[in-house]
C-alpha cells in the first residue's frame, strides 16, 4: 500500500481523489499538490450516486494528465449524512483503494461545510454546519475561534438553539439551515443553504495525508450518527398477506 513518504528535501506531488456522496449532491474532485485540478458533481431530487460516481471519476481523469495509478490516496466524506449516499461513497472508495493498493482517508462532512462557509463569509465569529436529518432534526457541529463542538443530532426548537447564544455572529450552512430561520432571526446571522462540495474537502484530505491519518480498509464504516431504521417494505400486490393467498 502507498503511504506518506519519509521526510525528503524535495517537494513531492500528492494526488488525492475525493468522493462526496453524503447528501443529494454527488461529487468527485481530484486534488494535486494543494490544488483542485478537476471535479464533477450533480444534484437531483433522487439519489443518482450509484450510476454517476464511477463515470464522474473516469471523466475527471480524462481531463488531466494524471492516471489512476498516480493516486497517493482516496478520500471520502464519511458522514454524518444519508445512509444511501454514505454506503455508496464508502463502498466505491474502498473498492478503488483495494484495486490500487491505496490508503483511505475519511473526512468529517460537517467540517467540509464549515470550510465552504469560511471561504464565502470569512469575517463572521463562528460557523454552524447543519445537515437535514428529517422532520425538525439536523446533524450539527459548531466551529468558533476557541472551540469545535462534537457532532450531534438536535431537534430545532427554542431550547436547543440556546447553545448558539454565545457564538457571536454566525454563518449557518447546510441543507438543514432553513429549519432555523423562523427561530434564529438575529441580524448578525447568515443562513446559507448548501450541500457539501467535494472541492472544499481539499484541506482536510491533505492534512490527513500529511499526518498519515488513514482509516482501516477492512473495518471502516461511515459515521451514521443515528441507527438505521428501515421503512415499511412496499407490497403493491399484497403478496405478504398470507390470508389473501389462494390455497392449491
pLDDT tens digit sequence for 114-137? 999 999 999 999 999 999 998 889
**Around Cβ 103, how many Cβ atoms within 10 Å?**
23
Give the global pTM: 0.85
pLDDT at 240 over 80: no
pLDDT bin (cut points 50, 70, 90) of residue 44 is confident
Task: Tell me the domains of the chain and their CATH numbers.
Answer: 15-108+197-210 (3.30.420.40), 110-193 (3.30.420.40)
- Give the span between the Cα atoms of 102 and 98, in whole angstroms: 7
- Give the span between the Cα atoms of 207 and 204, in whole angstroms: 5
pLDDT bin (cut points 50, 70, 90) of residue 47 is confident
Mean pLDDT of 178-193: 82
Segment 82-109, tens digit of pLDDT = 999 999 999 999 999 999 999 999 999 9
Q: How far separated are the first and last CA of the chain, in Å rounded? A: 60
Mean pLDDT of 51-55: 93
Grid cell listed for 202: 481539499
- Residue 131: name the closest of 121, 141, 122, 144 by CA: 141
Cα angle 140, 36, 18 (rounded to 5 degrees) comes to: 55
Mean pLDDT of 139-152: 94
Grid cell listed for 190: 447568515
- Contact by Cβ (8 Å): 209, 105: yes
pLDDT at 182 over 80: no
Encode burial over 177-197: b for 16+ CB neighbours within 10 A, e otherwise.
bebbeeebeeeebebeebbbb
* DSSP-derived 3-state class of residue 128: strand
pLDDT of residue 188: 78
- Contact by Cβ (8 Å): 80, 151: yes
Grid cell listed for 146: 476557541
Total H helices, total E strands in the chain: 4, 10
Amino acid at each position: 500500500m502507498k503511504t506518506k513518504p519519509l521526510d525528503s528535501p524535495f517537494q513531492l506531488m500528492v494526488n488525492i481523489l475525493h468522493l462526496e456522496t453524503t447528501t443529494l449532491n454527488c461529487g468527485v474532485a481530484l486534488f494535486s499538490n494543494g490544488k483542485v485540478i478537476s471535479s464533477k458533481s450533480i444534484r437531483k431530487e433522487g439519489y443518482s450516486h450509484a450510476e454517476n460516481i464511477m463515470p464522474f471519476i473516469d471523466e475527471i481523469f480524462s481531463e488531466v494528465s494524471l492516471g489512476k495509478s498516480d493516486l497517493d490516496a482516496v478520500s471520502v466524506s464519511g458522514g454524518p449524512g444519508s445512509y444511501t449516499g454514505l454506503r455508496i461513497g464508502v463502498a466505491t472508495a474502498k473498492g478503488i483503494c483495494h484495486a490500487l493498493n491505496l490508503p483511505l482517508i475519511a473526512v468529517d462532512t460537517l467540517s467540509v461545510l464549515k470550510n465552504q462557509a469560511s471561504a464565502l463569509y470569512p469575517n463572521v465569529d463562528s460557523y454552524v454546519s447543519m445537515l437535514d436529518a428529517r422532520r425538525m432534526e439536523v446533524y450539527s457541529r459548531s466551529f468558533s475561534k476557541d472551540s469545535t463542538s462534537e457532532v450531534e443530532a438536535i431537534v430545532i426548537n427554542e431550547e436547543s438553539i440556546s447553545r448558539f447564544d454565545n457564538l457571536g455572529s454566525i454563518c449557518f450552512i447546510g441543507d438543514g439551515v432553513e429549519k432555523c430561520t423562523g427561530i434564529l432571526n438575529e441580524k448578525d446571522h447568515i443562513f446559507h443553504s448548501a450541500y457539501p462540495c467535494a472541492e472544499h474537502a481539499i484541506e482536510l484530505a491533505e492534512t490527513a495525508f500529511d499526518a498519515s491519518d488513514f482509516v482501516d480498509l477492512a473495518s471502516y464504516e461511515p459515521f451514521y450518527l443515528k441507527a438505521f431504521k428501515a421503512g415499511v417494505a412496499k407490497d403493491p400486490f399484497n403478496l405478504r398477506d398470507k390470508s389473501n393467498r389462494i390455497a392449491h
